[in-house]
Amino acid sequence: MKLQSLLEKLALPLFFISLFFIATTFIAYFTQNNEWQRIGGANLHRILQLLDLREENTLATWFSSMIFLSTSASLVLLGWGKSSDYIISRLTRLVFQLTAIGACLLSADEVASIHETTGKWFGRWVLKMMVNVPVEDKGYLWMPLFAPLMLTAFLAGAYFLAKVIAQMPSLHRQRQWAYTALLTALICLPGVFVLEWLEFRGGKITSCFEEAAEIMGMYGLFRCSLMIARQHQL
């Protein structure tokens, strides 16, 4: 089975499973102070924790990692795929290739929490060098380290995706759907950094919206890339 065909079959299930995990994350937030009872020997609170995108090393974070990996695979089609009518510049192809590699690395980071660990390390270093600086050891300092690079890479990828979409037939519905998916990514993914900052400033429920924006933004990028690949039979 071709990679493009496999991803096409996974697209709809990934969407509904994404909605499921977003819902369970909000449920976990609103019920976090509730008294839980065991039913049939099952610890319902622990089960809900496993379905919470905010937690680390859970089923939810594993699935989130799969969304990043699927996005990487869809970008692999654009970065390395070839067909008679898929004509792009070397720069465009290089950007898609680098974006695919970046999404793959982010997939690993979702499981390993590398950015948060680095943020905590950087926070401790700041405290050591500047004792009077109030820094919380929660890993939020990953943002000044990685956010500019990540945002620049994403916007570059989005720019070249928009250029490729513009080459689709103007009356083709797939063109409009590709623009819609890219717009979803353009709204959600930069919004992750804003929501992360609000969470740092004391917002509680913003962490739920942040995880929802991240997973739907990456899904939008996945669908956009997949629609382009389908148009050109990559």
- Tens of pLDDT, residues 135-189: 555 555 666 767 788 889 899 999 999 999 998 876 678 889 999 999 999 999 9
Residue 193 confidence class, pLDDT cut points 50, 70, 90: confident
> Which residue would you say has higher pLDDT here, 223 or 172?
223
Give the span between the Cα atoms of 109 and 195, in whole angstroms: 19
**Global pTM value:** 0.87
Q: Cα angle vertex 142, ends 204, 74, to 5°?
A: 95
Cα(first)–Cα(last) distance of the chain, in Å? 13
Task: Say whether pLDDT at 130 is over 70.
Answer: no
Q: Which two tokens stand for residue 112?
A: 């390993």
Report which of 115, 107, 173 is spatially closest to residue 140, judged by C-alpha positions: 115
Q: What is the pLDDT of residue 183?
A: 96
Q: What is the pLDDT of residue 15?
A: 96
Task: Say whether pLDDT at 234 is over 80.
Answer: yes
Report which of 54, 177, 172 is spatially closest to residue 113, judged by C-alpha positions: 54
Residue 219 confidence class, pLDDT cut points 50, 70, 90: very high
Report which of 146, 149, 126 is spatially closest to residue 137, judged by C-alpha positions: 126
Residue 45 confidence class, pLDDT cut points 50, 70, 90: confident
